[in-house]
Chains A and B, each alone.
Chain A
Amino acid sequence: DAEITQSPRHKITETGRQVTLACHQTWNHNNMFWYRQDLGHGLRLIHYSYGVHDTNKGEVSDGYSVSRSNTEDLPLTLESAASSQTSVYFCASGRGSGNTIYFGEGSWLTVV
């Protein structure tokens, strides 16, 4: 079955380190998204991509970067992790406008 997977599911890292969260989908969706969710809050859009080599900034993109070298993957990189980036990160993918998007199970990141 087609799916969307995130890795690692849990990670603890130190302030200042570079961290990359992987997201892989097998639906061949053009659109992919990264969100963060802080405890007790809704999701906030970090970056999104409409296709290979396309990336766009979302609401809270500072300190994060993404690259899209193929259809299946959209890795999220924290260039220099900060404690304020401790959060749960969700990757999602979907086809086009108006269509459903599907979320991964989340990556729990703690920056100490």
Chain B
Amino acid sequence: DAKTTQPNSMESNEEEPVHLPCNHSTISGTDYIHWYRQLPSQGPEYVIHGLTSNVNNRMASLAIAEDRKSSTLILHRATLRDAAVYYCILRYGNNNDMRFGAGTRLTVKP
């Protein structure tokens, strides 16, 4: 099964951009790359997802390497409310289950 590797933790200053990396060297051609985040004492929430091309939405941007073996979640201006655990997840081909890793705990300093 394709797995992801993320740093355990990262820090950022408020209002600065944050780049959260994810390695997925064994990704298959039909795997979507999903990012979710989990705020304290809440269920995970969707952030963004993509297949091959870079993606933007109101929350973040997703940059996907040309070989798809890595991706980066970009928060353009971190706020204190962005402090959370960020999960990079691969959706296995046509399967619908999602397997979460340990994620990256983002701390945002004022």
Given contacts A42-B102, A42-B103, contact A106 B42 (CB under 8 A): yes
Determine which of B44, B45, B94 lies in contact with A43 in the assembled complex, contact meaning CB atoms within 8 Å: B44
Give chain A residues whose Cβ lies under 8 Å from the Cβ of B44. Answer: 43, 90, 92, 103
B46:A101 contact, CB within 8 angstroms: yes
Is A27's beta carbon under 8 Å from chain B? Answer: no
Given the known A-B contacts A33-B97, A90-B44, A104-B43, are A98 and B51 also in contact in the complex, defined by CB atoms under 8 Å?
Answer: yes
B91 at the interface (CB under 8 A from A): yes
B39 vs chain A, min Cβ distance (A): 11
**Secondary structure class of chain A's binding surface, majority of residues:** strand
Interface size class of B (residues with CB under 8 A): 20 to 34
Q: Is the CB of A106 within 8 A of B43?
A: yes
CA distance A50 to B96 in the complex (A): 8
Which listed residue (A42, A48, A96, A106) contacts B100, Cβ 8 A?
A42
Which of B43, B87, B96, B99 makes the CB contact (< 8 A) with A90? B43
Task: Flag if A56 contacts B97 (CB, 8 Å).
Answer: yes
Q: How many residues of A contact B (CB 8 A)?
A: 26
Partner of A96, one of B46, B51, B96, B97: B96
- 23 pairs from A and B in contact (CB 8 Å cutoff): A42-B87, A42-B101, A42-B102, A43-B44, A45-B98, A45-B99, A45-B100, A48-B97, A59-B99, A90-B43, A90-B44, A92-B44, A94-B96, A97-B32, A97-B93, A97-B94, A98-B49, A98-B91, A101-B46, A103-B43, A106-B41, A106-B42, A106-B43
Sorted from nearest, which 3 A-B pairs have the closest CB atoms? A103-B43, A43-B100, A100-B46
Known A43-B87, A90-B43, A100-B49; 9 more pairs at CB < 8 Å: A42-B101, A42-B102, A44-B100, A45-B100, A48-B96, A97-B32, A97-B93, A97-B95, A98-B32
